[in-house]
Chains A and B, each alone.
Chain A
Amino acid sequence: MAGDRPLVQGTPLLEARGLTRILPGVVPVTLVQNVSFTIGCGEFVAITGPSGSGKSSLLYLLGLLDRPTAGEVLIHGKATHTLPKKDLARIRLEQIGFVFQFHFLLPEFSARDNVMIPMQRLGALTPKQQKTRATDLLKNFGLADYVDRLPAELSGGQRQRVAVARALANAPRLILADEPTGSLDSRATEQVFDTLQSIVTETGTSIVAVTHDMDLASRMQRRIHLVDGAIDTDQILPPSVRD
């Protein structure tokens, strides 16, 4: 079991230090408030909290898509707030897989082509290898028969799974997923969860997943509960509770 390994090995993969994000305006809105935690390699973390509690906003900050008003995000112990946009893009491409709450796919590209886009940009694999890898990833999520379909020809749950497969494309160290199973039935949820769990176990990739599904959250190693943009509880769940 993954949980038998130490949770933090050496330098943490991701560290949030006093992360605060305030939307400026006549009435400034605080999205995230003084959030600090570390995530090591091979962790599967659930972020829970009521709707509007700032889960998505926190994920954007962790994924280097948004810049914090205060605090910083460190990747492998390296500060990111001083890096130019170009370098942040490179980190996202190589090390972070992002799944949006509302599965965003490029509408003109087939399921497989969508999964191949990050690989093509990175260029680490040959086109043939890229195609094979994309097909395999989709197969893992039960989409073997849908590789050539356009997003418009897929159901909401199928699109969500394509988005998860795309986040895995470049074998990132960190996957940030915003409700990856939000529109899936229990069978498909099971399939996605098992696939993600096996990736964590086999490759030491860390996953931070926002979820409303308490049952699902309770099966992960750790749960961070947000209320009004701040951490309410951050608990490590012992394997006994999970199984």
Chain B
Amino acid sequence: MNLLFKIAGTHVRNRLRQTIVSTLGVALGVGFSIAMAALMQGSQRDFVESLINAIPHVEIRDEKRDPTLQPASRFYQAVAFHGLRPLDDIGGIRNPTEAMASLRDWVDGNLAQQLSGQAVLRYSGQDLGMTLVGVVPTDELSVSTIKDDMRRGRFEDLATTPDSLVIGDSAAGRLGADLGDTVTVTSASGLSKRFKIVGIFHKGVSASDEALAYAPLKAVQILLEKPNVINRITLRLDTIAEAPAVAERAERQLGYKAVSWEEANEGLMEAFAVRNVIMYTVVGAILVVAGFGIFNIISTIVHEKARDIAILKSLGFPEHDIQLIFVLEGLVIGILGALAGCLLGYGLSSYLSTIRFEFSVGREMTHLPIYMSVWHYAIASGIALISAGVAGFFPARRAARLNPVDIIRGAT
């Protein structure tokens, strides 16, 4: 084995320049794969993290998974009914206090109740349709990042000021209203109430900044004529991974639809999975190309060293040994390339993480999100080694099968 290594070493050293070039090929492939993986997974984690911060981990809505049966269906087995007037359902989660208390019993994390509905805000002759969300301010603060989004005023003031309102900065701008101004809010059924603006937020999501307003729960229940009713419970869990399990249990317990953040963003998660598949395909392709480089140089060496192969075989080296020599050469290039590639990858991702970007629209990103994982290094190196082994295997097999006498006759 030692001897085979030594022989492989002399071959590689003889073709040092070509060896270095193909090693660099592998190194570049591995290095860029690692940097790309770090960037891709970094951005994914960054995105998911801010998503998880911005949305509830579990959301319970006043909906059922299956549509409510109309009374007629309960009594008659029929394919369809005509001329049926559906039963009016005022909706909402009834008995919120009881529901909240039963959840608090076992959920590790914070809960908040909401009642939201459509309303029109009016100020100085301007009308703006908005989603009005009634909240218990202290609860809401414990489940959301709204506090960080406050630009002016304080969210906590919703609790101390009766009939107060916190609206998005775009909405405020459109209405021409400012902190301390009083706006008129009209519900769909025509009820009006005056609210004082105590805070202005900016979430960086235009749908919220333009059309979302928070008010104390009691005031919204009165305005929407739904006393003691809520239509949404949001949960912020201590352990995010428990979200699906918590959602399932809550749904079974309350009978309302409970959705975990993963379920709510299923499409996004699929998109990430597809992105990863694409990434590893590209990584694989790069390393296959590097493999061709290795194949090329090993083939050259086999051709060049045909005489040595004949000598070794005539001395009594079995085919297996000859094959091993050249596979080793491929692997040596692969290993050196993978090592250099890991260093390159580390350097590249470290460098990328120092680059700063500024986006004015949407989410602010101050630097490229880089996530370093041993797995990126292991996977890229693993693929490189497999590709190097395969690339070495074929010329090695050809070398092993060379007929020594043909070579010796040819050399004389």
Contact = CB atoms under 8 A, between A and B. Distances in A.
Interface in B278-324: 307-308, 310-321
23 contacts: A60-B408, A65-B313, A65-B405, A65-B408, A66-B405, A86-B318, A86-B320, A89-B313, A92-B315, A93-B315, A100-B408, A102-B408, A104-B307, A104-B314, A106-B7, A106-B311, A106-B312, A107-B308, A108-B14, A117-B315, A121-B3, A121-B317, A166-B315
A90 interface: yes
B316 A121 contact: yes
A105 B307 CA distance: 9
Contacts of A92: 314-316
Contacts, number: 71
B355 interface: no
Contact of A65 (B307, B314, B319): B314
Contacts of B3: 117, 120-121
A228 interface: no
B314 A106 contact: no
Nearest to B3: A120
Most buried by B among A65, A90, A91: A65
B404 interface: yes
A90 B319 contact: no
A122 B315 CA distance: 10
Interface residues of A, number: 30
A193 interface: no
A65 B404 contact: yes
Interface residues of B, number: 26
Interface string A76-97: 0000000001100111111010
A60 B405 contact: yes
Contacts of A93: 315-317
Given A65-B404, A65-B405, A117-B3, A104 B311 contact: yes
B14 A89 contact: no
B10 A108 contact: yes
Nearest to B14: A108
B109 to A, nearest CB: 67
Given A60-B405, A117-B3, A86 B319 contact: yes
A101 to B, nearest CB: 7
A104 B412 CA distance: 11
Top 8 closest A-B pairs, CB basis? A93-B316, A92-B316, A108-B10, A89-B318, A66-B405, A120-B3, A104-B311, A86-B318
B411 interface: yes
Contacts of A89: 313, 316-319
Contacts of A86: 318-320
A44 interface: no
B332 to A, nearest CB: 16
Interface in A123-155: none
B411 A102 contact: yes
Contacts of A120: 2-3
A118 interface: yes
Nearest to A127: B2
A240 B102 CA distance: 119
Contacts of A104: 307, 310-311, 314, 408, 411
B216 to A, nearest CB: 87
Nearest to B401: A85
A89 B311 CA distance: 12
A102 B307 CA distance: 11
A93 B403 CA distance: 17
Interface string A105-121: 11111000000011011
Given A89-B317, A121-B315, A109 B10 contact: yes
Most buried by B among A86, A96, A101, A108: A108
